[in-house]
Structure 1
């Protein structure tokens, strides 16, 4: 493909993340319940953060940075790069933001694994977890393609 077509695709894909991340933050990541016979409560990134702020402020701050700020800031930086408003020398910093953003998927996976291992309650994954995971992986792919595009000579 030609460079302008690829760049246009990357711009559109990256800008769509700016809209889809907030959707993923409010989408149900999982449904949790204490006993199998009772209904399950839906947990999203936002509701999880709300309960964390009430119990463990430090952990809530860490998760807020990883789940909200890091992926969104990375997406904004990539958009600036795509529109030539940011130097290509910032790509290493953008990669660091991407690694921070991936940490939240790990935290969610640990939470689900621990909850299922205890055996007290019931946890079911919901569509928001898949959406959030796809968005993080799409962001990683967009970053990688952007880096490859920056390495190629301009047409």
Structure 2
């Protein structure tokens, strides 16, 4: 068995940082939403949104949970295993699919913001967590296995 070079590449550091950054992004405020601006805005995170979704629509909650939590983390952990020679190269197509599934959650959030803003009765503002979560997803998509 031949072991890969353990020389640290920048991609490895970025990928390992994503293991820490994804959980932070799940609890960070994605957006602030409220019925009208005068009533104040409630912050919505991935976790708080999932909690609400589990109470109202279990099937959609399963899909969003997989796309927001499991797909990105499985992709990052799979890439870490590939970086250190612990996962076969034949797993690359599966890791690519997981990365694309993780992007589906960003699309759902963007669609929600556009729809709510279009109605005009509610106020929605994006928060720093949306940019962190999107950045994590995009970073995991663009990282290449050595």
d(CA) in 1 for partners of 2:91, 2:58: 31
Q: Paired residue for 1:67?
A: 68
The runs of at least 4 aligned residues of structure 1 exceeding 3 Å deviation read 4-7
Q: Report the alpha carbon displacement of residue 90 of structure 1 after superposing the two structures with TM.
A: 1.1
d(CA) in 2 for partners of 1:13, 1:35: 40
3-state SS, counterpart of residue 37 of structure 1:
helix
Cα RMSD for the two superposed structures: 1.6
TM-score (norm 2): 0.93
d(CA) in 2 for partners of 1:87, 1:6: 19
Q: Paired residue for 1:153?
A: none
Decide which structure has greater helix share.
1
CA deviations on 1:106-148 (whole Å, 9 max, x unpaired) are 0000110110111111000000000000000100111xx22xx
Q: Is the 8 A contact 2:6 2:84 kept in 1?
A: no
The equivalences for 1:129-140 within 5 A come to 129-140=130-141
d(CA) in 2 for partners of 1:27, 1:6: 33
TM-score (norm 1): 0.88
3-state SS, counterpart of residue 39 of structure 2:
coil
